[in-house]
C-alpha cells in the first residue's frame, strides 16, 4: 500500500463587518481556489506545518486556535500515479503580515464564509469550512499539558513536589516550547510541582507572563474534590482566549472525562502520556441538572456557564 502523503493547513480568518472573513488562495499550477496548506517536512508536526505553510503561501503570521478536522483524499503522484493524502486543518486567526504573489500563490482573497464556500474548487475544502463555521461559538481554548518526564519517584529521596525534569523530560519540554507558542497563549497555569512548572516555564517566559500556581490541578488536591478541580478548569476557560494548564497523570484523564461527560461528548480514550497535550475547546452552554461529569457542583460557588465543545489529543510532540 502506498504510504499516505501528510500535509497540514489552516482556515485563516479575521473579523469582518458581517462576521469572520477567511482566506482563499489561487494556485496557478492547478488553477484552483483552496485553503492554504502544504506537505509536512520530515519530523515536522502538523501544527508547525500549518503555521509555516500559511506564512509561505500568504505572507501572514497567525496564531492557531485549535485543530478543526482531518481530510483524506487521493492526490496525483509522480509517474502519473495517485497516492492517498491526509491533511490536518486548524483554525487560525490573523496576527499580521502582507500578501505578495509568489510561485505557489498568485492571488489571495478575503471572503465571508458563504462566499468562500461557493468559491472553493474542492468539496473537501468546503467541509473544512463547515467545521470552522461550527467552531465559531467557541470562546476559549485550554492546552492541558501533562508534565514532561521527571525520572522515577522511587529514585528521588527528597520531597516529591520538588522532583525536577530528567534529561528526557527536558527534551520533551523543549518540544512543547516549540509547539505551545503557536497557539499564542495569554495565561499559563501549573500544579505546584517543580516538574510541572519547569515544563511550561519557557513558554510563559517567552510570552512575558507569569506561571500561576493552582493547587487544584495537583493530584492530591484534585482527588479530594474533583468537582472543585473541574470548576477551576472552567474558570480558566471562562477568561477566554487561549490558556496553558500543566497538570499530572492522576488528574488529566478524570478531568477530561468529567468535562466530556457533562457536555455529552464521547471520547474513545482519555490518555495522558508525559509531555502530551489535550487541546480543549469551550463554548457557552448549560450543564445538565447542575452536574459536572460524575458529581454535582458543590463547594464555593458555581462554575462558569461553559461546556466542552471539542477535545484533541497529541501524545507527545517529541515522538
Is the CA virtual torsion 182, 188, 192, 194 positive or negative? Answer: positive
The C-alpha cell that represents 119 in the structure block: 468559491
- pLDDT of residue 114 exceeding 60, the answer is yes
Answer yes or no: are the C-beta atoms of 89 and 131 closer than 8 Å. yes
Task: Count Cα atoms within 13 angstroms, Cβ side, for 203.
Answer: 33
For 79, other C-beta atoms within 10 Å of its C-beta total 5
DSSP string across 237-302? HHT-EEEEEEE-TTTHHHHHHHHHHHHT---S-----TT-EEEEEEEE-PPGGGEETTEE--SSSP
What mean pLDDT do residues 209-235 have? Answer: 98
pLDDT in tens, 5-23: 999 999 999 999 989 999 9
Q: What is the rounded CA–CA span in Å between residue 173 and residue 197?
A: 10
The residue behind cell 491526509 is: 86
**Pairing mode of beta strands 82-97, 5-16:** parallel
The residue behind cell 510570552 is: 207
- pLDDT of residue 35 exceeding 80, the answer is yes
- Residues recorded for the chain: 319
Q: What is the rounded CA–CA span in Å between residue 82 and residue 96?
A: 37
Quote the percentage of the chain above a pLDDT of 70. Answer: 94
pLDDT in tens, 119-176: 999 999 999 999 999 999 999 999 999 999 999 888 898 898 999 999 999 999 999 9
Q: What is the pTM of this model?
A: 0.92
- pLDDT confidence of residue 76: 77
Position 79 confidence tier, pLDDT thresholds 50, 70, 90 = confident
pLDDT in tens, 240-297: 999 999 999 999 999 999 999 999 999 988 999 999 999 999 999 854 444 444 332 3
- pLDDT confidence of residue 147: 98
The C-alpha cell that represents 284 in the structure block: 457557552
Q: What is the rounded CA–CA span in Å between residue 251 and residue 271?
A: 11
- pLDDT confidence of residue 291: 47
Is the CA virtual torsion 294, 297, 299, 304 positive or negative? Answer: positive
- pLDDT confidence of residue 286: 55
The C-alpha cell that represents 195 in the structure block: 516538574
> Angle at the Cα of 202 (from 304 to 37), degrees rounded to 5?
75
Amino acid at each position: 500500500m502506498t504510504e499516505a502523503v501528510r500535509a497540514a493547513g489552516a482556515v485563516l480568518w479575521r473579523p469582518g463587518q458581517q462576521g469572520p472573513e477567511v482566506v482563499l488562495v489561487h494556485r496557478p499550477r492547478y488553477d484552483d481556489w483552496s485553503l492554504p496548506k502544504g506537505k509536512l517536512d520530515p519530523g515536522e508536526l502538523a501544527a508547525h506545518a500549518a503555521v509555516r505553510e500559511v506564512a509561505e503561501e500568504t505572507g501572514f503570521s497567525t496564531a492557531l486556535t485549535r485543530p478543526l478536522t482531518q481530510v483524506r483524499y487521493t492526490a496525483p503522484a509522480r509517474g502519473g500515479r495517485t497516492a492517498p493524502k491526509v491533511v490536518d486543518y486548524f483554525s487560525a486567526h490573523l496576527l499580521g503580515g502582507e500578501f505578495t504573489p509568489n510561485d505557489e500563490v498568485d492571488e489571495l482573497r478575503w471572503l465571508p464564509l458563504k462566499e468562500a464556500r461557493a468559491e472553493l474548487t474542492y468539496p473537501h475544502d468546503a467541509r473544512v469550512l463547515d467545521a470552522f463555521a461550527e467552531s465559531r461559538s467557541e470562546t476559549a481554548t485550554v492546552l492541558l499539558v501533562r508534565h514532561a518526564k521527571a525520572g522515577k519517584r522511587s529514585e528521588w529521596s527528597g520531597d516529591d513536589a520538588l522532583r525536577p525534569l530528567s534529561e528526557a523530560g527536558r527534551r520533551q519540554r523543549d518540544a512543547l516550547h516549540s509547539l505551545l507558542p503557536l497557539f499564542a497563549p495569554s495565561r499559563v497555569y501549573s500544579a505546584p510541582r517543580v516538574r510541572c512548572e519547569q515544563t511550561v516555564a519557557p513558554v510563559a517566559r517567552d510570552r512575558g507572563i507569569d506561571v500561576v500556581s493552582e493547587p487544584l490541578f495537583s493530584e492530591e488536591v484534585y482527588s479530594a474534590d474533583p468537582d472543585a478541580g473541574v470548576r477551576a478548569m472552567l474558570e480558566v476557560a471562562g477568561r477566554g482566549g487561549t490558556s496553558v494548564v500543566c497538570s499530572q497523570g492522576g488528574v488529566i484523564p478524570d478531568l477530561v472525562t468529567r468535562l466530556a461527560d457533562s457536555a455529552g461528548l464521547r471520547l474513545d480514550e482519555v490518555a495522558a502520556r508525559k509531555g502530551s497535550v489535550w487541546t480543549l475547546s469551550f463554548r457557552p452552554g448549560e450543564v445538565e441538572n447542575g452536574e459536572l461529569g460524575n458529581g454535582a457542583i458543590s463547594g464555593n460557588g458555581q462554575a462558569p456557564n461553559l461546556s466542552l465543545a471539542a477535545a484533541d489529543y497529541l501524545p507527545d510532540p517529541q515522538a
